[in-house]
Structure 1
Amino acid sequence: MVLHMVLVILSLLPLLEAQNPEHANITGTAITNDTLIWLSGKWFYIGSALRNLEFKQAVQKIQAEYFYFTPNLTDNTILLQEYQTSEDRCVFNSTKLGVQRENGTLSKFANKTDIAPELLEEFLEAVRSLGMDESEIIYTDWKKDVCSQQQKQREPERKKTEEGP
């Protein structure tokens, strides 16, 4: 559900640009192999700012979440393995994402549980430039992460999937 929300939100960013030319820094950019390689690895969900009440209520249940992105450069897909702590339990999800290179949307994910102040400020500026208030941002609480232990148990399976047959 959250992955779906993230993808919907990311795919709508170019539309926000089309509606308001004041936000020139939020544009779609072609996705290259270098972009996919940069995305590969472990990323952490830090927080989001949403106006849609349904999405906001769903996101408020997330206590902690991280992802593994494993791009396949030849078939334009990314294997996404998601570990989400929600309501004090871990939920694992694995899916493949299609990559549309020509009209790709760029977004920032965190690759550690804390974020540099300058990156946080950049995120806050983007939120404000969209007419949203900082109070609308919902952050995760990494002290409540229960997925780390489960992820350690799945690590051999994940590495086998990455290596292939």
Structure 2
Amino acid sequence: MALPWALTALSLLPLLTAQDPKCPYQKAVPITNATLERLSDKWFFIAAVLRNPEYLRMTRVVEAAFFYIAPNNTDDTLLFREYQTIGNQCIYNVSSGDIQRQNGTLSRIVQDTEHFAHLWLTKDPETFILVFFPEDEKNLGISLNARKQEVTKQQLSEFQEALKCLGLQDDEILYTDGKKDLCGPLEKQHEEERKTGNVES
């Protein structure tokens, strides 16, 4: 099981055209070392609108989720550690991915296939957005991730503005609920193991 931007075999994003789109969220923004520094460490998956049927099906069962991103600037790779509460259990997953700096995308390998998500940095450094299939209305999607489980009205407002820009609706939003999180104990266990050097990731 993986995060909503990689819940299943993500489909390759269409190549972004050189022409500037009407909505800025459809435009590639190059990824820099500063971007990767901002993305590093722990994030909570807050909400998403996903029109891709498989994404939607998988996200609906996620009650709470958080994840860690560890970028490697030298070889442009990423390590993901993901914790999801689904039903009455915590699902933990470790995976790796790549950074496509000029395309503004992050990728990961799912079932031997590389798939992509379009990164958009918000005005607030405590949040970021991922856009899926920006040129495909039927599969278009967007997710909001934040440093804290509870987001401010301003942070949510920027996400809602992005929805409108992309032609998505508020009533399509799927929210997580941090109160339902069951992964805290496992996360604490992993932290202790890393301190004592008992795990590699």
Task: Name whichever of 65-74 and 97-106 sits farther off.
Answer: 97-106
When the two structures are superposed, what TM-score results if normalisation uses the length of structure 2?
0.70
Q: Please state which structure has a larger fraction of its residues in strand.
A: 2
Query: 2-side partners of 1:74 and 1:68: how far apart?
Result: 19
Describe the superposition over 1:48-103 as per-residue Cα deviations: whole angstroms up to 9, x where unpaired: 00122322121010010001111111111111100000112100001111111121
Q: Which amino acid aligns with 2:61?
A: K
Q: Please state which structure has a larger fraction of its residues in helix.
A: 1
Decide whether the 8 Å contact of 1:14 with 1:26 is kept in 2.
no
Q: Which residue matches 2:38? A: 38
Q: Which residue matches 2:183? A: 147
Measured on the aligned residues, the alpha-carbon RMSD in Å equals: 2.7
- The alignment partner of 1:113 has SS state of coil
Which blocks of at least 5 consecutive residues in structure 2 are unaligned? 106-118, 121-127, 129-144
Taking the TM superposition and a 5 Å limit, the aligned residue runs for 1:12-51 are 12=13, 15=16, 21-51=21-51
Decide whether the 8 Å contact of 1:48 with 1:139 is kept in 2.
yes
Which blocks of at least 5 consecutive residues in structure 1 are unaligned? none
- The alignment partner of 1:99 has SS state of strand
Q: Which amino acid aligns with 2:54?
A: E
User: Post-superposition shift, 1:12?
Assistant: 3.6
User: Post-superposition shift, 1:39?
Assistant: 0.5
CA separation of 1:100 and 1:153: change in aligned 2, threshold 3 A: same
Q: Which residue matches 1:134? A: 170
User: Post-superposition shift, 1:20?
Assistant: 8.9
Query: 2-side partners of 1:31 and 1:20: how far apart?
Result: 18
User: Post-superposition shift, 1:18?
Assistant: 7.8
Decide whether the 8 Å contact of 2:2 with 2:93 is kept in 1.
no
Query: 2-side partners of 1:162 and 1:99: how far apart?
Result: 25
- The alignment partner of 2:155 has SS state of helix
Give the number of equivalent residue pairs.
161
Query: 1-side partners of 2:100 and 2:13: how far apart?
Result: 14
Taking the TM superposition and a 5 Å limit, the aligned residue runs for 1:84-123 are 84-105=84-105, 106-107=119-120, 108=128, 109-123=145-159
CA separation of 1:37 and 1:70: change in aligned 2, threshold 3 A: same
Q: Which residue matches 1:6? A: 5
CA separation of 1:57 and 1:134: change in aligned 2, threshold 3 A: same
